[in-house]
């Protein structure tokens, strides 16, 4: 309608400014639409709303938000404007709608798994800090190297293990040590300790769990574990749920604590679980 942006921005301020939201975020109701009209409309509406809202204490970057403080989330589309206050943790994400595509840092995309870990590192901020830059990751089932390249691009050191080789683009990559061997046969060099462990191994999920447990002995206290629970051979939701509970019980009985679980945008028939070394 004529004057929509101004009228909508003024209405948002009247309704929500007393609650002092930590951020005002807008998105398109249908984020997958090829037509960018509503994305542009949302962007313009956010710009005008920010001019009107009191800025004291606002989080200006998405990941600066306090996961437990209220944010004004807005979605706009042909159906109308939908707005409400919610903490990012209850919304299960920092963006309107809960999740969105998180841009990869790596310049060259080796595999879709790079986008998966980029989103995982964004998501886990809802629950704890991510490992500091130059932290050391142990990556299990690394081939062809999509996750490896993303971690390296973010300034991490990576020890990667797989019985299949990495993409040639990772040859002689700074900060990378690669072991061409089965994860079951791998033991870290003497004295090696890791800040985080990541497993995206294919195959039997509980077998992968056992390798995560074995190698978590080389994690520092408070170290992060990102574990992809594969559902190979599982046919229905009840079986996936049973597999999840079995994996959770197995891991938590061996010195790791579950801190979050989710189905990432880039997951297929799998869940991503986040653990912390107790």
Span 48-89, pLDDT tens digits:
999 998 765 566 678 889 999 999 999 999 999 999 999 999
Among 147, 153, 155, residue whose Cα is nearest residue 120: 147
Which residues share a beta bridge with 80? 77
Give the pLDDT of residue 59.
Answer: 66
Q: Is 75 helix (H, G, I), strand (E, B) or coil?
A: strand
Q: Which residues contact 129 (CB under 8 A, 6 or more apart)?
A: none
Q: Which CATH entry fits the domain spanning 113-277: 3.30.70.20, 3.40.50.150, 1.10.10.10, 3.40.50.300?
A: 3.40.50.150
**Could you give the residue ranges of the DSSP H alpha helices within 112-236?**
113-123, 146-153, 205-215
194-199 and 176-180 beta bridge pairing: unpaired
> Which CA distances in Å does 68 have to 23, 72, 94?
12, 13, 11
Cα–Cα distance measured from residue 135 to residue 222, given in angstroms and rounded to the nearest whole number = 13
Q: Distance (Å, rounded) from C-alpha 266 to C-alpha 114?
A: 9
Cα separation, 168 vs 131, whole angstroms: 27
Instruction: Report the distance separating Cα 81 and Cα 74, nearest Å.
Output: 7
Which CATH number, 3.50.50, 3.30.2300, 3.40.50, 1.10.10, labels domain 4-91? 3.30.2300
- Enter the tokens of residue 103: 């841009």
Q: Can you give the pLDDT at residue 12?
A: 96
Residue 236's pLDDT is: 87
CA-based end-to-end distance of the chain? 56
- The structural domains of the chain, with segments of one domain joined by +, span 4-91, 113-277
Q: Under DSSP, is residue 146 helix (H, G, I), strand (E, B) or coil?
A: helix
- Of 178, 174, 121, nearest in space to 144 by CA: 178
Quote the pLDDT of residue 55.
66
pLDDT of residue 122: 92
Taking the model in full, what pTM does it have?
0.87
The pLDDT of residue 100 is 60
Listed as ranges, residues in the chain with pLDDT below 50 are: none
Instruction: Report whether the peptide linkage leading into residue 144 is cis, meaning its omega lies within 30 degrees of zero.
Output: yes
């Amino acid at each position: 309608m004529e004057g929509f942006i101004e009228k909508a921005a003024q209405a948002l301020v009247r309704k929500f400014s007393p609650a002092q939201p930590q951020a005002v975020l807008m998105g398109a109701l249908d984020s997958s639409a090829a037509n960018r009209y509503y994305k542009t409309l949302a962007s313009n509406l956010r710009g005008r709303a920010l001019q009107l809202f009191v800025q004291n204490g606002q989080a200006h970057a998405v990941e600066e938000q306090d996961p437990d403080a209220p944010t004004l989330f807005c979605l706009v589309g042909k159906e109308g404007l939908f707005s409400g206050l919610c903490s990012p943790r209850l919304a299960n994400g920092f963006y309107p709608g809960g999740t969105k595509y998180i841009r990869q840092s790596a310049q060259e995309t080796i595999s879709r798994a790079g986008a998966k870990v980029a989103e995982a590192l964004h998501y886990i901020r809802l629950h704890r800090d991510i490992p500091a830059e130059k932290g050391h990751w142990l990556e299990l089932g690394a081939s062809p190297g999509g996750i490896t390249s993303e971690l390296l691009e973010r300034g991490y050191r990576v020890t990667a293990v797989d019985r299949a080789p990495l993409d040639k683009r990772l040859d002689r990559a700074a900060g990378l040590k690669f072991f061409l061997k089965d994860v079951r046969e791998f033991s870290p060099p003497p004295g090696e300790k890791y800040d985080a462990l990541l497993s995206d191994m294919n195959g039997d999920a509980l077998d992968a769990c056992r390798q995560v447990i074995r190698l978590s002995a080389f994690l520092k206290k408070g170290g992060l574990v990102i574990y992809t629970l594969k559902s190979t051979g599982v046919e229905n939701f009840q079986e996936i749920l049973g597999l999840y509970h079995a994996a959770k019980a197995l891991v938590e009985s061996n010195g790791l604590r579950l801190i979050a679980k989710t189905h990432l945008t880039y997951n297929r028939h799998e869940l991503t679980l986040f653990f912390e070394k107790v």
